[in-house]
């Protein structure tokens, strides 16, 4: 009897696997909400600690709650000495994302996860930023800057990364970048974290799964790839570059999205940041801005009618270059930003956990007979 073939959704496109109250991605209208709050309002008015609290608790905190949450995040900033040693050892032999994955896994192995999962989530959110800053600092200078308790989360991150207190503008820009990258529904890395968590593995292992998924150039690595493309385009005929790339089957990074069929709202905000810093930007950033705006105009004429618009990756690289952040740190910073999103989804899924075990439709043979190796004929 022949088994009828079911509908196969390649890439799980359009497949719903759970309900969630955390994040609404309105792809048709280019809107994004964290627990119902529009992303543009959060980016303009809030801060990363408050958004992390929102994602972990489903509501905004009052002053006392936010103060307590910040204290708990501050208390979790320090990185074990053994982890710093490993980061130092690997800094000349591996990539920042490989180092991040190893360091987070090692932190998990050095700690015993207690019954208070909320504390573990807070620790991971804080630790990831410290680890990323340590990776950047050690790779660039060979030195590790210890956390400074008097500083807020983002200010401390930049202090640990650069070894000096950042200016107000840098903190404000990075605050907004962290908020914009904090959460985005069931993206690939979040889904990977949930798959691992569904086996009732620990939170650190689930986070490591997410980090390794984020690493790919079709996900978190896309902003670094987009910047490489922009650098390659500088000084060239952009329309011809686009045509040649598409003709050869290549991708124009920073455009198109599985969900958004209109302008990515995060890209709108980041583009605004980039345009606002031009009077003080370096020649490199001014040239990158000129290139990316020209590319946007070319692509608008060519593909916007197909629902292909700029995504969050297009303008992220030039903004990070304005902050003098190296491209190899873009994806680790994405991971540090996304930590509260990963943790919030793990927490939500565990409320009614079920092992994630999708089904594949088998198309191979059955009933084949085993032949001893000495009797097999070469093919």
- Which among 126, 113, 20 has a CA at the least distance from the CA of 350? 20
Catalytic residue among 181, 223, 313, 345: 313
Tokens of 354: 């079920």
Q: Using CA atoms, how far apart are residues 56 and 182, in angstroms rounded to an integer?
A: 11
Catalytic residue among 219, 223, 237, 345: 219
Residues in the chain: 379
CA dihedral 118, 119, 121, 122 (to 10 degrees): 120
29 exposed, middle or buried (CB, 10 Å; 0-12, 13-18, 19+)? exposed
Catalytic residue among 153, 181, 184, 257: 257
Q: Using CA atoms, how far apart are residues 124 and 107, in angstroms rounded to an integer?
A: 9
Concerning whether 313 is annotated as a catalytic residue, the answer is yes
Q: Using CA atoms, how far apart are residues 255 and 237, in angstroms rounded to an integer?
A: 18
Beta bridge partners of 25: 32
Contact by Cβ (8 Å): 22, 35: yes
Concerning whether 153 is annotated as a catalytic residue, the answer is no
User: Taking phi first (over 0 means left), then psi (-120 to 50 degrees means alpha), and beta for anything else, what does residue 158 get?
Assistant: alpha
Q: Using CA atoms, how far apart are residues 288 and 227, in angstroms rounded to an integer?
A: 9
| Exposure of 111 in the CB half-sphere (CA atoms within 13 A) | 23
Helix intervals (H) in the chain: 39-45, 48-57, 63-75, 81-90, 96-110, 117-141, 153-162, 168-180, 188-198, 203-214, 222-233, 238-247, 265-276, 283-303, 313-322, 330-349
Concerning whether 98 is annotated as a catalytic residue, the answer is no
* Residues that are catalytic: 219, 257, 313
């Amino acid at each position: 009897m022949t088994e009828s073939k079911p509908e196969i959704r390649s890439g799980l496109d359009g497949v719903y696997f759970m309900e969630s109250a955390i994040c609404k991605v309105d792809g048709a209208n280019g809107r994004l909400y964290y627990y119902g709050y529009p992303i543009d309002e959060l980016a303009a008015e809030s801060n990363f600690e408050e958004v992390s609290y929102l994602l972990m608790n489903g509501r905004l905190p009052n002053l006392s709650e936010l103060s307590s949450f910040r204290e708990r995040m501050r208390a979790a900033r320090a990185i074990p000495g053994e982890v710093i040693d490993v980061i130092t050892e690997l800094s000349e032999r591996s990539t920042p994302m490989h180092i991040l994955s190893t360091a987070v896994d090692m932190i998990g192995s050095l700690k015993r996860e207690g019954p208070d999962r909320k504390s573990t989530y807070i620790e991971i959110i804080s630790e990831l930023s410290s680890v990323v800053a340590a990776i950047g600092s050690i790779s660039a200078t060979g030195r590790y800057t210890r956390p400074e308790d008097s500083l807020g989360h983002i200010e401390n991150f930049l202090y640990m990364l650069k070894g000096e207190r950042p200016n107000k503008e840098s903190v404000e820009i990075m605050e907004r970048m962290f908020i914009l990258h904090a959460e985005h529904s069931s993206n690939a890395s979040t889904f990977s974290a949930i798959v691992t968590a569904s086996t009732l593995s620990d939170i650190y292992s689930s986070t490591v799964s997410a980090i390794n998924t984020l690493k790919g150039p079709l996900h978190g690595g896309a902003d670094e790839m987009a910047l490489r493309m922009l650098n390659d385009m500088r000084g060239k005929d952009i329309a011809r570059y686009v045509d040649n790339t598409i003709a050869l089957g290549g991708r124009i990074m920073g455009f198109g999205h599985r969900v958004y069929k209109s302008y990515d709202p995060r890209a709108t905000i980041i583009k605004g940041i980039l345009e606002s810093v031009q009077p003080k930007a370096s020649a490199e950033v001014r040239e990158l801005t000129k290139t990316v705006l020209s590319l946007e105009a070319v692509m608008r004429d060519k593909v916007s009618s197909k629902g292909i618009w700029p995504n969050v990756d297009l303008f992220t690289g030039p903004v990070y270059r304005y902050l003098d952040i190296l491209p190899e740190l873009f994806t680790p910073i994405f991971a540090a930003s996304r930590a509260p999103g990963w943790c919030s989804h793990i927490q939500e899924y565990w409320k009614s956990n079920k092992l994630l075990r999708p089904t594949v439709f088998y198309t191979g043979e059955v009933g084949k007979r085993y032949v001893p190796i000495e009797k097999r004929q070469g093919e």
